Structure 1
C-alpha cells in the first residue's frame, strides 16, 4: 500500500499509476488537487488487498476492504490536514464520521499538520490550543500513535522542525499486527520525510532487482541488453533473466560508476542535518 500526499494533480491516469507502481496488478483511487494545491493518491496491490468501498473528502481519502493474506477487514485513510484551527476541526469530525461508518479496524496516516506533544516541535514550550484539541480528539477516538523509531521530526523548513506526519490506529489494529513499527525514510527534495510502516517479523527473501530511469535514456542501454540476451541462447526465460543481471551490473558500474554511493552519501548528510 502506497499513499502520496500533495500530488498537485487535478487528474491522474492509469498510465501515471502504472509508472509509479511498476506493474499492472494495482488498484488506485485519488482526490484531485485544487489547482496546484493538495491532491491525494492511494495505490495498492490487488493481489494483497481487495477494495470494497471508497470514501473521499477534500483532505482525506479512505479505502475500505480486506487484506487477503489473513482475511482482515479494515480501512486505510490517507490524510492531509488543514492549516487553520477551524478547518482542522472540520477534517477531524469528518474522519470520526467515516470511522464510525466503516465499523472496521481503522488506520489513519499522513500529514495532520498538528503535533501531539511539546517534544514534537523544536524549541516549543507549551502546546497551542489547536494541538490540545488534536490531542483530545485522538484520545476520544481511542487511537494509538505509532512511535517513530529512528528520528524525532518528520518536517523541516529552515531551522523549524516538527513531527506533524504520523500513523494512528485503533486497538484492534494493534492486536492484529503486534509487530508493526514506524520508521522514517529519506526526504530528498521534499520538506517531509517518508513514513514507512513495516512488519518486523518479515525477514529474508530474495534480493530485489532495481533499475534506474537513467538507464533507459542512455543511448547504449537497449543495444547492450539485446546483445547480451542473444548470447544467453535459448535457455529457460527466468534463468536468462537471472543471468542478465551480471552484465547489467557491470554496465551500470562502467557508465554510472559511484552514483549509488554518492546518493547514499547525500542522503546521509541530509539525515545528519535533520537530526
Structure 2
C-alpha cells in the first residue's frame, strides 16, 4: 500500500498510477486537489489487497477491504491534517465516524499536522491546546502510535522541526501484525520524510541472468566492433551512471546530517545554502535515474 499526500492533481488516470507503481496490476483511489493544494492518493497491488468500499473527504481517504494473503479484513486511511484548531477537530470527528463505520481493524497514516509529545517539536516546552485535543482523541479512540526509532523529527522547514507524520493503528491491527515496525526514508526534495511501515523481511534469492535474442546479430564484423566497444562503454557507464544509487544515497545522507544539525540547534545561512545545493544535485540524479529505468523497462 502506498499513500501520497499533496498530489496537487485534479485528475489521476490509470496510466499515471501504473507509472508510479511500476505495473498495470494496480488498484487506487484518490481525492482531487483544491485548486493548487491538497490531493490524496492510495495505491495498492490488486493481488495483495481487494478493495470493498471507499470513503473520502477533502482531508482523508479511507479504503476498506481484505488483505488476500491472510484474509485479513481491514481499512487503510490516509490523512492530511488541517491547520486551524476547529478544522482539526472536524477532521478527527470524521475519522472517528469512519473508523466506527468500517468495523474492522484500521491503519491511519499520513500527515496529522500535530504532535503527541513535547519532545516531538523542537524548542517546545509544553503541548498546545490543539496538541492536547489530538492526544485526547488518540486515547479515546484507543489508537496505538507506532514508534519511529531511527529519527526524531519528520518535518523540517528552516529552523523548525517536528514529528507530525505518523501511523496510528487499532489494537486489533497490532494483534495481527505484532512485529510491524516503522522507519523513516530519505526526504530528498520534500519538507517531509516518507514513512515506511514493514513487517518481516523476505529473503531474496539469486538474481537470474537474462540475455536478449537481439544480441545474437550473426554479423562477425559488427560483433567484433561491439566487442571492442564493450570495455570503454562499460567504464564510461560505470563512471557516469553505474553508481546512481550510491550517489543519491550520499546526497541523502548529507541532507540528513544537516537535518540532524538543525534538530540539535545548529542553524545558519550556510547550513540552508548547503542544503539547497544538495537538493539541487539530488533532483538532477533523481531525473537521471527515472530516465534510466524508464528506458530499461522498455527494453
TM-score, scaled relative to structure 1: 0.84
Match of 2:77 in 1: 77
Match of 1:205 in 2: 204
CA distance in 2, matches of 1:259, 1:75: 37
Match of 1:171 in 2: 171
Match of 1:218 in 2: none
How many residue pairs align between the two structures? 245
CA distance in 2, matches of 1:107, 1:254: 44
Match of 1:231 among 174, 193, 215: 215
CA distance in 1, matches of 2:234, 2:57: 46
Evaluate the alpha carbon distance shift between residue 94 and residue 232 of structure 1 in structure 2; reply closer, same or farther with a 3 A threshold: farther
Match of 2:253 in 1: 268
Aligned residue runs from structure 1 range 1-275, under 5 A: 1-199=1-199, 201-206=200-205, 229-231=213-215, 252-253=237-238, 255-275=240-260
Match of 1:220 in 2: none
CA distance in 2, matches of 1:207, 1:43: 29
SS at match of 1:132: helix
Shift of 1:249: 7.9
CA distance in 2, matches of 1:111, 1:272: 23
CA distance in 2, matches of 1:249, 1:203: 32
Describe the superposition over 1:204-238 as per-residue Cα deviations: whole angstroms up to 9, x where unpaired: 124789xxxxxxxxxxxxxxxx9x642258xxxxx
Shift of 1:258: 3.8
CA distance in 1, matches of 2:30, 2:22: 18
Match of 2:284 in 1: none
Describe the superposition over 1:125-148 as per-residue Cα deviations: whole angstroms up to 9, x where unpaired: 010000000000000000000000
Q: In structure 1, list runs of 5 or more residues that go unmatched.
A: 210-225, 234-245
Task: Check the 8 A contact 1:149/1:181 in 2, yes or no.
Answer: no
Structure having the higher Rg: 2
RMSD, matched Cα: 2.2
SS at match of 1:173: helix
SS at match of 1:156: strand
TM-score, scaled relative to structure 2: 0.78
Shift of 1:263: 1.3
Describe the superposition over 1:60-98 as per-residue Cα deviations: whole angstroms up to 9, x where unpaired: 000000000000000000000000000000000000000
